[in-house]
Amino acid sequence: MSALLSFNNVTSYYGATRILKDFSFRIEKGRCLCVLGRNGVGKTTLMRTIMGLTDRSVGAIRINDTELRGKPTHVRATYGLGYVPQGRGILSNFTVRENILLGTFARPDKSGDIPEICLRIFPYLKDNLDRRAGLLSGGQKQQLAIARALAVDPQILLLDEPTEGIQPNIVHEIGEILKMLNRELGISLIVTEQHIKVARKLGDAFLMVDNGRVVAEGPMTEMTDTLVERHMTI
């Protein structure tokens, strides 16, 4: 079976600096892959490389056997990638509604309506569609960022530190929502995470990154404490 998304010896640059080095991995349809590692090892760069937001990358990146190399970000977005960036990337001058509508520009069917699912799972957004997004709290912004990515009608959600800077009870709630999107709607997830607990609950598989390289990978059950200690403790 061919992978939904695969990297084959990808090296990605900011300027002349290599951030990802000979990076290879694959994710099958409907799975949840957790990307783990310390700060600054290239997890965010991995996400940005998928979206084509780094300065340059070499190596093969495929989604459903379509080669992404050389394709600009706005084209990649239309291949079913729903991106939830680090820091959430909410447009603060836009209303909640406009932020979600932004996601619809990457829809393959070109529909301009907010998909029903976006509002069903986030009742707060539904009740505050005309609120200026800059006024939302961190957790609400994260919900909005996920709703916006869902408006793409994605095959894969790319979630960069979705629980970063969010109060603990909402961390749990967002974890449950991601699990539901993955298990019930069959959306594949690539999640970078610092919370080992969240990762263990959510992921089918893990990818341990250190210094821009894949140092370990496998099913989540094989992520031992020794691995965590070696590559994640400071």
Partner 1 sequence: MDLGSLLNALILGVSIASIWLIAALGLTIIYGTAGVINMAHGELIMLGAYSSYMLQFYLGLPYLLCLPASFVVVALVGLALERGLIRYLYSRPLDTLLATYGVSLVLMQGVRLIFGSDPKYLAVPEIFQSNVMLGSVSVSAFRIVVLLVTVLLVLALWLLFYKTRFGVQVRAVMQNKEMAAAFGINSGRIYMLTFALGAGLAGVAGALFGVLAIVLPTMGASYVVQAFLMVVVGGGSLAGSVVASGVTGEMQSVFAFFTNDTLARFIIFVLIVAFLRFRPQGLFAQSGARR
Structure tokens at 18: 């290599």
Q: Which is nearer to partner 1, 152 or 171 (CB)?
A: 152
Q: Which is nearer to partner 1, 42 or 154 (CB)?
A: 154
- The amino acid sitting at 224 is T
CB of 155 to partner 1, least distance (A): 14
CB of 64 to partner 1, least distance (A): 17
CB of 21 to partner 1, least distance (A): 24
Q: Which is nearer to partner 1, 88 or 195 (CB)?
A: 88
CB of 144 to partner 1, least distance (A): 12
Q: Which is nearer to partner 1, 36 or 151 (CB)?
A: 151
Q: Which is nearer to partner 1, 92 or 137 (CB)?
A: 92
Name the strand (E) or helix (H) holding 150: helix 138-150
Q: Which is nearer to partner 1, 31 or 107 (CB)?
A: 107
Q: Which residues pair with 213 in a beta bridge?
A: 210
- The amino acid sitting at 110 is K
Q: Which is nearer to partner 1, 36 or 49 (CB)?
A: 49
CB of 154 to partner 1, least distance (A): 11
To 10 degrees, what angle do helices 138-150 and 168-183 make? 10
Q: Using only C-alpha atoms, what is the Rg of the chain?
A: 17
CB of 141 to partner 1, least distance (A): 13
- The amino acid sitting at 157 is L
| HSE toward the beta carbon, residue 49, CA cutoff 13 A | 30
CB of 157 to partner 1, least distance (A): 13
Give the residues lining the site for partner 1 (CB under 8 A): 51, 53, 72-74, 77-78, 83, 85, 89, 91-94, 98, 101-103, 105-107, 112, 148, 152
- Residue pointed to by tokens 């986030």: 122
Task: Assess contact for 27 and 1: CB atoms under 8 A.
Answer: no
DSSP string, 195-218: -HHHHHHH-SEEEEEETTEEEEEE
Nearest Cα neighbor of 144 from 175, 110, 102 is 102
To 10 degrees, what angle do helices 138-150 and 96-104 make? 30
